[in-house]
Amino acid sequence: MARSRVYVRAGSTSSPWLAVNLSAVVPGWGQIYGGAWTKGICFLLTTLFGIGWIVHAIFLPSGNTVRGLWLLLPLGGLYLMSLWDSYHTVARHSPLTINQDPWYPVFLSHVLPGMGQLNLQLALWGVSFLLLGIGFGFLANLNANLLPIPPLIWAIGCGHAYIRATRTHQWTMLLGFLAVLITIRLAVGSIPAVVRLTVEQCIVPSESMVPTLQVDDLILVNKARTYTPQLQDIIVFEAPPQAIALDQLQPDDLVVKRILGLPGQQVAVQNGQVWINGSPVVEPYLAQPPDYLWGPETVPDNQLFVLGDNRNSSADSHRWGFISQSLVVGPAYKIYWPPQRIQPLS
């Protein structure tokens, strides 16, 4: 049986691969470990600024999705530069080679669980961590309740690789690193679930909202439970029973329309205009006025009156009647794709 490889490290010698591991979880931390505080803080702040800009560009109404996606490239380059620089910041003062540094197998396990064990010739451990990491990583994408498990597997794999790589251990540094590793990986792994809980991504299927929304526009919908409907908001809602019955929609279909009547308001469609409580509604976004008559009727409690902007080619409240507020997913606030259509919907 092959013997496992053991790395030996002098107790007070700085580790270049520890610096790489630190910067891998928090860009700039490795530079700070190596004494380059100013450079480390610059890496950290620049990374945080880049992440904030990407979130703004992709998810906020005024942001440009394309710019946010392009910014991922320089941010990824900055991350790799932080790893490279953290290594060289410490390596110039350290006599350790890659075969002497017990934090190198930790870095491999950080990249993919089990790789550090395979590097140490611990094949059974390596394959076990590899299968567990990949398997639970896949399952966590299907079940959010499993999200904490992959970060724990990564952390245990890193800790095990370090313990098996050296006879002398920096327990405080190891535990601190693993705690931050778990926190960061859990936060990153939770991003898709958080996005699904707060934002709905929809595709416009018909011409009922032309010219405001075109067919195949991709829109973002704010799913905040605190949303209070306002006149002329564009909202996305679940198909109401009357729409399912009259227009052959499916129960899980989502519909996008504009609010033109709130509870207690009297609504009418007359003379090519919508009237609310006897006053005409100014609608500069319409291409054509409605050629039908409706109402007047008073919107009941917890109900809404909604119309499509393409008034004469839209199945909406003039056909279905009022819709329940309980069906509302939230307000559509941004067209995020295609690039030439990116714009806020407020």
What is the domain-level CATH number for residue 227? 2.10.109.10
The pLDDT of residue 77: 98
Q: What is the pLDDT of residues 242-291, one digit of tens each?
A: 999 988 888 899 999 999 999 999 999 999 999 999 999 999 999 899 99
If you average pLDDT over residues 32-55, what whole number do you get? 97
Any domain includes 221: yes
Average pLDDT over residues 194-201: 94
**Structural domain of residue 265, as residue ranges?**
204-344
Choice among 257, 314, 317, 334 that is catalytic: 257
Sorting pLDDT into bands at 50, 70 and 90, what band is 5? low
- Please check whether residue 142 lies inside any domain of the structure: no
pLDDT by residue (tens digit) across 49-92?
999 999 999 999 999 999 999 999 999 999 999 999 999 999 99
- Is 257 considered catalytic here? yes
**Quick check: pTM over 0.75?**
yes
Among 109, 208, 314, 317, the active-site one is: 208
Q: Is the pLDDT of residue 8 over 70?
A: no
Active site residue 314: no
Is 120 within the bounds of a domain? no
**Is 137 part of any domain?**
no
Could you tell me if residue 135 is inside a domain? no
Q: What is the rounded CA–CA span in Å between residue 213 and residue 313?
A: 13
One-letter amino acid for residue 330 of the chain: G
212 with 323, same domain: the answer is: yes
**Predicted local confidence at residue 161, as pLDDT:** 97
> In angstroms, rounded to a whole number, what is the distance separating the alpha carbons of residues 38 and 17?
20
Where does a domain end: 101, 128, 147?
101
What pLDDT sits at residue 93?
Answer: 87
- Counted domains in the chain: 2
* pLDDT of 2: 45
Condensed to tens digits (0 to 9), the pLDDT of residues 223-254 reads: 988 999 999 999 999 999 999 998 888 889 99
Average model confidence (pLDDT) across the chain: 94
pLDDT of residue 52: 97
Do 87 and 219 reside in the same domain of the chain?
Answer: no
The residue from 39, 68, 101 where one domain ends is 101
Q: What pLDDT was estimated at residue 282?
A: 96
Has residue 154 been placed in a domain? Answer: no
204-219: per-residue pLDDT in tens? Answer: 999 999 999 999 999 9
340 occurs within a structural domain: yes
pLDDT value of position 1: 41
Cβ–Cβ < 8 Å for 221, 199: yes
The confidence score (pLDDT) of residue 96 equals: 83
Does residue 158 form part of some domain?
no
Q: Which of 151, 292, 186, 303 is nearest to 242 (CA)?
A: 303
Q: Which of 53, 82, 101 is the last residue of a domain?
A: 101
Q: Are 174 and 155 in contact (CB under 8 A)?
A: no
